[in-house]
Structures are given as C-alpha cells and as structure tokens.
Amino acid sequence: MSKLSRISAPQMTVLLLASRLSQCLLLTPQSTAGLHLSDRLLATALSGLFLFLLFCPTLWVLRGSPRGLVDAAYRLSRGTGRALCIWYFLLCLFILCIDIIQFYDFAEKVMTGTFSVVLLTVALVAVAFAASLYGIQALGRTALPVFTFSVVCLAVFGLALLTEMRAVHFPPLANQPFLSIVKAAVSELPRSAELVLIGWLYPYVNGPRFYAVGAFCGLTSLFSAAVITTALGVLGDFAAVTAYPYYAAVSVAQIGVFQRMDMLITAVWLSTFFIRLSLFCTAFVNMASRAFGPRARRWSALLGTGALWGFTLLIRHNRSWGAVTVAYWCVLGVACVGLPLLIWWLKRRKAR
C-alpha cells in the first residue's frame, strides 16, 4: 500500500464525522420511531454506545493485524476475497442509491429556486465519482476544511438561535418507557452507515484506530444532540410535524443584517453530503479494482455513475423508508457482526 493512499486516525475520524454530519442535519420526524424529539436526545446518547458495540467484532477480528477484512478474505482464498469485494461493491451502490434519493427528496421539498433537481443530482454523482478516483488521502484532506466549516456554521446557528429558544418548548426527558428509547436508539443506527466501511478502511489508517472510531461514535452522538436541541428549542412541538426540523429552525436565524440562513445550511449540507458520497464512491471504485483488476477503476466509476442515475430516477417516487430502514439494519448486522465473525471462523478452521 503506497504512502499516498493512507490517512491518519484523526483524519479518519474527521472524514467519517463530515460524512455523518450530512445525516445529522437531515433530521426528520419520521426517523424518530414514534418518539418525541426530547426523548430522541436520550436515544442519541444511547446510539453512540450501540455504534461502538457494533464496531467491536471488527476490531476484535482485526486486532494486532495491519490488514483489513478484504485482505484477510483474500488470504483465505481468492474466491472468498473476490466475493467480499463484490459484497462491498453492491453495498456501496445500495447506500449511494438511498443517499441520492434522500438528496432528491430534500432538494425537491426544501430548496427554493427554479433549477433542475435532476440535473443537480446528476452533476453531484458525477463529481463524487470523479473525486473518488483521487483516492482516500485526497478525500481525507478535503474532509478537514469541510468539517471545520460545518462545525463553525453549526456553532453560529446555535448562537444565533439562542434568542429564539424557549425552555418551555422542551418537554420533560424520559417521557416514554425505556424500551421505546432503546428502540429509537437502534433505529438511529442506520444513519451511521459509514460503520460498514470500517472493515475496508482499516488498513488505510495509521495510528490508534480504536480511539478514532471511539471518537467518531461519541462525537456523532454529540452533534446529533446539538441538532435536536436546536430544532426542539426553536420549534417546540412543531418540530414533530415539519419535514426537516433543523432546516426549518435555521431558516429563522438572523445575525444583524444577515438573514435567510437556510442558504448557508444548504451549503453545509451539500458539502458534507459530497464527502459522504465521495467516501462511498471511493470504496465502490476500490472494491471494483480489487475484484476485477486495476483497469476496472475507471469503468466502475462510469458504471456506478450510470447505475446511480438510473436507479435513482427509476425509484425516487416509489421508495418505502420502512423497507429501507429494515434493509439498513440487515446490512449493518452482516457488515459489522456477521462478516468479521465469519472470516474469523474461516481463518480458525484453515489454521486447524
């Protein structure tokens, strides 16, 4: 592995966080599993813990080894390695597809202007795939300014909205039974789809990966809590009936003569979303080249772009978020628990 294709552990945390932020900002009442947003705060804290637990099997299987899951599979047999690459390949395509539909939904419902949403989607996918050809290090470096910009904007929005927040808007915490909060914490997990890439990303990272992932899990909860607190404090119960509460809350923020902060939140969201798309595109292209040879890099990028456009335009009006959530849980279970344990078992059997 060349030096240029590696990133440091803090870079990985920032990359994953920048990608996850796009999901944090896309807070929707539908994703609360019937829970009030105030209880969602508790669920968010709990989901950070669950996230870390989900990562543990991968960490345990890869302990003391510089290789990732794909390398470990290739060492078992070429067929196993290729099968795993194709699994990741399809997985990335699935997640990208859902992300693009989410983007389409957001742009269509919220963004004002007379531009073509389809054209914007097509261009975004093309740019993300083009960026993926530059490798993981380029992406890691790009993520830092994007993440810094996003965090600064979140802080500015929070401060600007302090005057709009009322204590009376917050219902009491733990209003629901604990089981409902656990259920909501579990339903929050699919939003951290970056976790499925840890097994692939592992060998590209220098430094303490364990702490990097721990920081990602903790900070993810923190950012989600900040977004929920802002939306709830400003909107009250209205947060439960508006499509994108954080966006609705930020659109009323103003600092001096600066108004219409919704433009800024759209910019933050687009930039973090670009990082998310590029991360999955990079994994997609990398898996294609490992399964089908280095020449597959470029054609897989073209194929991926075409496939995404096709899928997205075909199913954008026929999606079912319930089915998507179930599919995400299955994918997370297989990628974070099933696959690492299977590879560990195969390794053990081969060693005997």
Burial class (CB in 10 A: 0-12, 13-18, 19+), 120: middle
Contact 2, 151 (CB under 8 A): no
List the x/- string, 272-311, binding to other proteins by CB under 8 A.
--x-------------------------------------
Binding segment toward other proteins, per CB under 8 A, in 85-93, 121-129, 215-223, 314-322: 121-129
User: If binding is defined by CB under 8 A, does position 318 make contact with other proteins?
Assistant: no
User: If binding is defined by CB under 8 A, does position 27 make contact with other proteins?
Assistant: no
- Nearest distance, CB of residue 262 and other proteins, angstroms: 8
Q: Within 13 Å of residue 27, how many CA atoms lie on the same side as its CB?
A: 30
Binding segment toward other proteins, per CB under 8 A, in 123-131, 153-161, 214-222, 279-287: 123-131
Q: Within 178-217, which residues bind other proteins (CB under 8 A)?
A: none
Quickly list H helices, the chain: 9-25, 37-61, 69-76, 78-109, 117-132, 135-160, 178-188, 198-201, 209-235, 245-250, 262-292, 296-315, 321-333, 339-351
Task: Quote the CA–CA distance of 291 and 304 in Å, as a whole number.
Answer: 15
Pick from 231, 221, 228, 246: which is nearest to 44 by CA? 221
Q: Which is nearer to other proteins, 53 or 162 (CB)?
A: 162
Q: Which is nearer to other proteins, 215 or 234 (CB)?
A: 234
- Nearest distance, CB of residue 132 and other proteins, angstroms: 10
User: If binding is defined by CB under 8 A, does position 163 make contact with other proteins?
Assistant: no
Q: Look up residue 115 and give its DSSP letter.
A: S
User: If binding is defined by CB under 8 A, does position 34 make contact with other proteins?
Assistant: no
Q: Phi-psi bin for 27: left (phi > 0), alpha (psi -120 to 50), beta?
A: beta
SS3 for 205?
Answer: strand
CA 223, distance to chain mean position in Å, is 13
Q: Within 100-119, which residues bind other proteins (CB under 8 A)?
A: 110-116, 119
Q: Look up residue 295 and give its DSSP letter.
A: T
- Nearest distance, CB of residue 46 and other proteins, angstroms: 21
Q: Which is nearer to other proteins, 77 or 175 (CB)?
A: 175
- Nearest distance, CB of residue 119 and other proteins, angstroms: 6
User: If binding is defined by CB under 8 A, does position 36 make contact with other proteins?
Assistant: no
Among 64, 172, 294, 322, which residue interacts with other proteins (rule: CB under 8 A)?
A: 172
Question: What token pair was written down for 88?
Answer: 């990741």
User: If binding is defined by CB under 8 A, does position 259 make contact with other proteins?
Assistant: yes
Contact 275, 142 (CB under 8 A): yes
Binding segment toward other proteins, per CB under 8 A, in 135-143, 150-158, 183-191, 319-327: 135-143
Q: Phi-psi bin for 260: left (phi > 0), alpha (psi -120 to 50), beta?
A: left
Binding segment toward other proteins, per CB under 8 A, in 12-20, 81-89, 130-138, 297-305: 130-138
Amino acid in the structure at residue 99: D
Pick from 273, 219, 286: which is nearest to 14 by CA? 219
- Nearest distance, CB of residue 299 and other proteins, angstroms: 19
Binding segment toward other proteins, per CB under 8 A, in 48-56, 58-66, 241-249, 283-291: 241-249
Among 207, 214, 218, 236, which residue interacts with other proteins (rule: CB under 8 A)?
A: 236
Q: Which residues bind other proteins (CB under 8 A)?
A: 110-116, 119-120, 123-124, 126-127, 130-131, 134, 138, 141-142, 166, 168-169, 171-172, 175, 234-238, 240-242, 248, 251-252, 254, 259-260, 267, 270, 274
